[in-house]
Structure 1
Amino acid sequence: MDNFVNDSTKTAQDIDVPRLYGNPFVPSAAEKIAVIFSYPLAYLYTYILIPPVNRDNWYPVTAAFIILFCALSEIFYHRRKATAESYAWLGCIAVILVSMLAGLNRVWGDSLAVFFIHGYAVYWILNRSGRLIEGRSGPFTPVDMMNGFIVFPFKNFFLRIKVLWSALKSRERKNGEKTSRAGTVAAIAGGLILLYIAGALLAAADDTFDRLVGDILRLLDIDFLKTFIPRFLLSLPVGAYLYGLVIGTNREDVHELEERGGITLNRLETLKKVPAKAWMVILGGFSLLYLLFFVIQGSYLFGAFTRTLPEGFTVAQYARQGFFELCQIMGINFLLFWLVMKSSNIDIRSNRFAMIMCSVLLAESLLFSVTAFSKLMLYISCFGFTPRRLQSTWLICVLFAGTALALYSLWTRKRTFRIWIYISGISLALMHLY
């Protein structure tokens, strides 16, 4: 109760507020400076969200934003040693930027390129700030991406306001009336702008009112404000999000993130209650199903290897039919393999028969991927490359690499998920150069 004792020497402005929630909020100098840069950066981003009617400058604006975003983020985190992985993802960003400015990127197109570069930028921030759950890419990558896109930015969505308010209050205590006058001028300027907008809206809503004040409003009409004000208002939440992403991420406790990862792993351990024999029966059923499919459709599936087509099929029909179904089958096999590894009540690697059954499943997945790839190559050899065919080629190669690495990890106990992320992410970026 000592905090509530009255001190007659203090004015109403100086009365201490009792601290009920821990230490007071004290932003760093870098956080205060970042507030200044966040406003123009967010305003620039509005031209990516809502490009002008003429979209010719969309790529240059996107490139300018990404360059400024990465440069300012690097300055903010310059005291933290960058990892080799962060340079890899920064290189991917650079590759996509080059493809944009050089007029390449025929594979993914404009919208996907901008979408992908957002993903790389967010993931690079997580790497650069050291806020990945495991400290590097790994099985927690999907959770890391959710943290980067959703959790960290929105958790710190109001951080910029807090920093700005703290900086203004600190300056007011130092400079007294000067800051108050500056605030008054800012308030008057903002009020006049809002008054003009309100008058223009009322004039548009009523002809009589327009005849009375319309001429005056038209004298003050500034075309620049018609685009600036809506974009500025849009930039406010955008800036809060970006500030929460870059600056707020730095406030996340690394040890707490590691503890969350450990808790998640412990919870996964509690799921290991399914008898291994049950999984062996299920794996056996899948293996027999695929074997039966290979036997029945063998000549159809493997025709691409001998460049012979089934009777009544054109090359286009042969290549397209079943391609994406085979890719989906591989996805199902990945899910099944993960469930077996995470829910079996014994360590699969300590059971020889279980290892063989999992290996058979993965080997059949490899065969599916090779078959799909051969069909696609036959199609490309006849009709040439197109963006969609290159996308399909990338997809099947990534699935093949993931299956091969899973099989390698199964027998060696080495963690290969990180390698698969590198292969997938870097190859995805390089595809933009076509």
Structure 2
Amino acid sequence: MVNNYEGDIPNSDYQGLCEVMVEETKGIKIIKENSLFFILLSVVFGIFCTVCLYKSLSGINIPLLVIVWMFCCMTALNKLEIKIPRISYLYMTAIMLFSISTIFTTSSFSLFFNASSIIFFGYMLLQRNFYETRNWQLLGFLLDILNMIVQVIANIFTPFSHLAACRKKKVAKESKFKYVIIGLIISIPLVMIVLSLLISADSIFSQMFASIFENINFEDLFGISFVFGIGSIGFYAVLAGFASQQNSDNLINIRKGEPVIAITVTSILTLIYLMFSLIQIKYLFIGGVNSLPAGFTYSNYARSGFFQLVFVSIINFGLVLLCISVFKESKVLKALLLIISLCTYVMIASSVYRMLLYVAAYHLTFLRVLVLWFLAVLTVLMTGIIVTIFYEKFNLLRFSLIVVLSFYMVFSYAKPDKIIAEYNISHINRLTYSDVSYMLNNLSYDAAPAISKIDLSKVNMHTESKQTLNSDFQEYFERVKKDYNDRGIRGFNFSSYEANKAVPK
């Protein structure tokens, strides 16, 4: 890896995932020499982190916090004398888009993965600024993530050690400060004894002292302190973790395995997959009802085994990736991996077909939409895997990031809960009480505008169920109004606003 710091920095070999650095990097030296500056920057971020996140995890507060974080990061990188590469602005754009997406949805799934995406691309932004990653492959990138987690944990107490080192430069002030700390420690038990005696001695003083603590919400005090600590200390620890990384031109090269091992394993799997794929083509895609063996109905056959196929497809993806990353080049192995990849396409197609039949019979749910989305992503990623099998210089890491980013961005902004509700309502004559109840209790408020248009008279259910459903609708829209009113300014959310507008008057 090539560091972006200016000046010559000696290279060293990569000797382990979590190798302890003996010699401080230039970045760590700058952070230590300017510890007060970086501590102040961390405190500023910690304050904004507390104001934006405490008891408000979705709304306009998220883009605001992201802007502050990026400002603090750019300020820190400038102080560290790091030249910011142009790709950083692409990462910052992605981070902003994910943060803005949180304003337009109330889906817990989307909010969680938006936050995860912000953290992930924040990591990518810092990683690319601290060292060169353009020639990395996917496995080396994943190993570096594990390494960075260890580095950040190892640097949790770094701001305190840097601050202590800074104080040692001021010997005279240091000695007085030490005595102040000793005095404060001694005063704690003494103050507690004196206060307890005075409180028991005078009832007026006792009431006055009690009234002070009555106005203090210790739960909020602890929560605010915790968020501030995580934000400020975490910011400093992340910077120190990245700055302490090795400056090396050597990539992690683990492709030294004997290909015969992989050939043996993949040969067995290839035979099984070919047999399975032929059955799928004969009975599911081409044959239809008349070609099934006795005792099988077409609908039951098509709807069974879906999740097993998805799981096997994921295993195949990981297996092919592992083989091209760990084992030495072999033409036989490449051919076997190609066959496995093509069989994986058949399994994915079978899974999609089975799921579409299931949706046609039982309507859409969030899980079914999510699985179909995931299979689409997996199909494109398998294409990248096939290219990598025959063209080793293909940057699978960059390809995978672009694919996942693009697909998830579409998924996040598309409001899947709203799409689910609209699709199900378009088949209202086939809906049952449980179908409508699912939309009321399992979908986010993104679906509220569509749900408000449901004509209960067209739903297929008994009179008693319709009466229960009327009550459920009233409770649902009461929750919608409460969610909107409880958000306040920090948590303002367009999806919640639109849901509140859709509440029947």
**TM score, norm. by length of structure 1:** 0.70
Which letter does structure 2 place at the counterpart of 1:81?
A: K
Instruction: Identify which range, 235-244 or 221-230, moves more after superposition.
Output: 221-230
Q: What SS class does the counterpart of residue 139 from structure 2 fall into?
A: coil
Of stretches 154-163 and 179-188 in structure 1, the one that deviates more from structure 2 is 179-188
Q: Residues 245 and 382 (structure 1 numbering): CA distance in 2 closer, same or farther, change over 3 Å?
A: same
User: Partner of 2:71 in structure 1?
Assistant: 71
- What's the CA shift for 1:381? 6.6
Flag the 1:116–1:327 CA change in 2: closer, same or farther, 3 A: same
Change (3 A) 1:279 1:393: same
Do the aligned residues in 1 keep the contact of 2:136 with 2:395 (CA within 8 Å)? no
Counterpart AA for 2:36: K
Distance 1:395 1:82 in 2: 34
Q: Distance in 1 between matches of 2:282 and 2:361?
A: 20
Q: Which moved more, 1:242-251 or 1:381-390?
A: 381-390
> Could you tell me which amino acid in structure 1 is paired with residue 42 of structure 2?
S
Paired with 1:47 and 1:362, the residues of 2 have a C-alpha distance of 49
Number of the residue aligned with 2:258: 273
CA distance in 2, matches of 1:401, 1:106: 26
Give yes or no for the alignment of 1:322 onto 2:305: yes
Aligned partner letter, 2:335:
I
Structure 1 residues 253, 291: CA separation in 2 closer, same or farther (over 3 Å shift)? closer
- 8 Å CA contact 1:38–1:243 kept in 2: the answer is yes
Aligned to 1:292: 275
Asked if the contact 1:326–1:372 (Cα under 8 Å) also holds between the matched residues in 2, the reply is: yes
The aligned counterpart of 2:338 is: 359
Q: 1: distance between equivalents of 2:196 and 2:276?
A: 72
- What TM-score do the two structures reach when normalised by structure 2? 0.62
Q: Would you say 1:428 and 2:408 are equivalent positions?
A: yes
Residue deviations 1:332-356 (CA, integer Å, cap 9, x gap): 2233334544565x621xx3x4433
How far apart, CA to CA, are the structure 2 residues paired with 1:369 and 1:97? 32
Query: Which has the higher mean CA deviation after the structures are superposed, 330-339 or 401-410?
Result: 330-339
Q: Show the counterpart of 1:221.
A: 213
| Structure 2: gaps of 5 or more residues | 1-21, 415-505
Q: Deviations over 1:122-175 (max 9, x none)?
A: 232222x33366665643121122233x222122222211232234444x46xx
- Given the superposition, is the C-alpha separation of residues 211 and 117 from structure 1 closer, same or farther in structure 2, using an over 3 Å criterion? farther
Offset at residue 217 of structure 1 (A):
2.1
**Closer, same or farther: CA 399–160 of 1 in aligned 2, 3 Å:** same
Q: Percent identity?
A: 14
| Aligned residue type for 2:210 | R
CA distance in 1, matches of 2:282, 2:192: 74
Kept in 2, the 8 Å contact 1:47–1:58? The answer is: no
Q: Deviations over 1:224-273 (max 9, x none)?
A: 57333563266436532321102441243322xx44x44xx1x542xx23
In the other structure, the counterpart of 2:36 is 32
Question: Paired residue for 1:347?
Answer: 329
8 Å contact kept, 2:137–2:395: no
Aligned-pair CA distance for 1:365: 0.9
| Closer/same/farther in 2, CA of residues 92 and 111 from structure 1, 3 Å limit | same
Task: Report the secondary structure of 1:82's partner residue.
Answer: coil
Distance 1:409 1:86 in 2: 26
Describe the shift of the 1:112–1:26 C-alpha distance in structure 2 as closer, same or farther (beyond 3 A).
Answer: closer
- The one-letter code matched in structure 2 to 1:433 is Y
AA partner of residue 159 (structure 2): R
Q: 227, 246, 255: which is aligned to 1:253?
A: 246
The runs of 5 or more residues in structure 1 that have no matched partner are 1-20
- The number of equivalent residue pairs is 382
1:309–1:73 distance in 2 versus 1, CA, 3 Å: farther
1:58–1:104: structure 2 CA closer, same or farther, 3 Å change rule? Answer: closer
Describe the superposition over 1:163-215 as per-residue Cα deviations: whole angstroms up to 9, x where unpaired. Answer: 32234444x46xx66x88888889989998x7899689989xxx969969642
CA distance in 1, matches of 2:192, 2:291: 71
Q: Which residue, 381, 391, 412 being the options, matches 1:412?
A: 391
1:244 partner letter: A
Quick check: 1:105–1:113 contact (8 Å CA) kept in 2? no
Tell me how far apart the structure 1 counterparts of residues 290 and 74 of structure 2 sit (CA, whole Å).
55
TM-fit CA distance, 1:64: 3.4
Amino acid at match of 2:121: Y
